[in-house]
């Protein structure tokens, strides 16, 4: 009996030690969700980017969780609306940082990306933007990544097309100052390429929908310069509304748009006024890539609308983060992991990050609106 008692005394602390190890291992294998932030404007004039991006992000997260998540842990998306306002964007990013998210997808516009980049860099938190193309964040050793080319690539594509096409030689341009880091740089790059061939941007108007000038006034101002073409650098809603006012005054002047305007919302709101309008597309709508076709079908079945470039790019951005989280080794940061992997499988083909988190995508094309559809010209 004494031997048994001694064994029991010994067993007590040993058992506690075993229990402690088991609890520690259980903690290490926690099934708590891995949280990823999402920041975009989901209300107002840029909502088509944010809402479509959020819907695509949800599909990507659901697919990841159906396949077992990340090392057995589910992924959870924490979405925040930046209201296309710098102060609000900084506020919601601080909330995501405080919540301990592992990465951020977004923002969707250039000005919001510029506004929050310092906070994300200070927190050493990786952000992957689906659609922010500003060159202000190019070539920097920071925590900002993007899965789309910069404004230079798309503005040059547009300028070169119109040089070759020959219908526009004297262009009047309107650009949205509410997303200045995008609009001004896009116009600058377009002008630099376009005017190199004895062509000119003869008049420019910066506008902000928070200011009193109406789209009819802007249209009159553009046409007063007697251009043979008009360029609009704005979101799809404002591009559509401005096209309507231009067509009330001139039914024939050619109109071309920046890539920001190339969403389905342009077709929905523009109606007949956008027929014949040309626009830069940042992806191949008719791609036969299996991944894109499967994603597009899933998106159409779920949401009853096209994903467009916001959906495709957001899905790609999520895949960058999810792939890197799966490959990340203990003691290695997410930024280092992404830069080590470098090449990622996008819905329409592989893309590769340079050392500064920028990419050069080849899917850009020029389309024309015909019968309420985008038809590729080049």
30 pLDDT tier (thresholds 50, 70, 90)? low
pLDDT digits (tens, 9 = 90+) for 211-264: 777 999 999 999 999 999 999 999 999 999 999 999 999 999 999 999 999 999
pLDDT of residue 19: 38
Region 56-68 average pLDDT: 97
* pLDDT score recorded for residue 362: 81
270, HSE (Cβ side, Cα atoms, 13 Å): 30
Task: Give 29 or 209, the one with higher predicted confidence.
Answer: 209
Q: Which residues of 20-49 are buried (b: 16+ CB within 10 A; e: fewer)?
A: eeeeeeeeeeeeebbebbbbbbbeebbbbb
What does each C-alpha distance from 227 to 1, 230, 276 come to in angstroms? 106, 7, 17
Residue pair 59/299 in contact (Cβ under 8 Å)? The answer is yes
pLDDT band for position 209 (cuts 50, 70, 90)? confident
Q: Is residue 31's pLDDT more than 90? A: no
Pairwise pLDDT comparison (11 vs 177), residue with the higher score: 177
Tell which phi-psi region holds residue 281, choosing left (phi > 0), alpha (psi between -120 and 50) or beta. Answer: beta
**In the predicted model, what is the mean pLDDT of residues 149-175?**
95
Residue 44 has pLDDT above 90, yes or no: no
DSSP state letters, 275-296: TT-EEEESS-TT---HHHHHHH
What pLDDT, in 10s, does the model give residues 283-307? 998 899 999 999 999 999 999 999 9
Exposed / middle / buried, residue 114 (Cβ in 10 Å: 0-12, 13-18, 19+): buried
C-alpha closest to that of 111 among 46, 42, 205, 192: 46
Whether 28 shows a pLDDT value over 80: the answer reads no
Least confident of 12-26, 105-119, 244-258: 12-26
pLDDT at 109 over 50: yes
- Where helices occur in the chain by DSSP H, the ranges are 2-28, 47-66, 86-99, 110-123, 151-165, 180-194, 215-224, 236-249, 264-270, 290-303, 308-327, 334-341
pLDDT digits (tens, 9 = 90+) for 78-88: 999 999 999 99
Instruction: Check residues 308 and 8 and name the one with the higher pLDDT.
Output: 308
pTM of the predicted protein model: 0.89
Amino acid 378: pLDDT: 83
Res. 21: pLDDT tops 50: no
Residue with tokens 């923002």: 107
């Amino acid at each position: 009996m004494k031997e048994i008692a001694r064994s029991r005394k010994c067993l007590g602390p040993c058992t506690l030690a075993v229990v402690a190890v088991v609890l520690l291992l259980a903690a290490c294998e926690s099934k708590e969700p891995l949280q990823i932030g999402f920041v975009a404007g989901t209300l107002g004039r840029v909502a088509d980017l944010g809402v479509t991006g959020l819907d695509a992000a949800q599909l990507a997260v659901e697919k990841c969780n159906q396949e077992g998540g990340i090392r057995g842990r589910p992924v959870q998306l924490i979405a925040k609306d930046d209201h296309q306002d710098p102060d609000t964007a900084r506020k919601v990013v601080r909330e995501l940082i405080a919540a301990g998210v592992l990465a951020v997808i977004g923002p969707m516009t250039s000005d919001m990306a510029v506004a929050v980049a310092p906070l994300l860099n200070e927190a050493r938190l990786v952000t992957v933007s689906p659609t922010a193309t500003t060159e202000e964040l190019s070539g920097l050793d920071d925590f900002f990544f993007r899965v789309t080319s910069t404004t230079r690539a798309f503005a040059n594509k547009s300028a070169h097309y119109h040089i070759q096409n020959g219908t526009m030689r004297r262009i009047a341009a309107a650009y949205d100052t509410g997303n200045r880091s995008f609009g001004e740089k896009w116009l600058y790059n377009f002008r630099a390429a376009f005017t190199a061939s004895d062509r000119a941007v003869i008049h420019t108007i910066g506008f902000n929908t928070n200011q009193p000038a109406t789209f009819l006034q802007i249209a009159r101002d553009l046409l007063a310069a007697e251009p043979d073409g008009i360029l609009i650098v704005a979101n799809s809603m404002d591009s559509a509304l401005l096209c309507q006012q231009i067509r009330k005054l001139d039914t024939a002047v050619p109109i071309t748009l920046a890539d920001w305007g190339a969403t389905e919302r342009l077709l929905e709101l523009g109606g007949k006024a956008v027929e014949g309008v040309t626009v830069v597309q940042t992806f191949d709508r008719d791609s036969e890539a299996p991944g894109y076709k499967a994603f597009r079908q899933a998106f159409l079945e779920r949401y009853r609308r096209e994903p467009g470039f916001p959906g495709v790019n957001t899905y790609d951005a999520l895949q960058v983060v999810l792939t890197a989280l799966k490959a990340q080794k203990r003691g290695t940061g997410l930024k280092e992991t992404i830069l080590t992997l470098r090449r990622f499988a996008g819905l329409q083909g592989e893309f590769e990050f340079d050392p500064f988190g920028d990419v050069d995508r080849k899917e850009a094309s020029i389309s024309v609106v015909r019968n309420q559809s985008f038809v590729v010209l080049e």
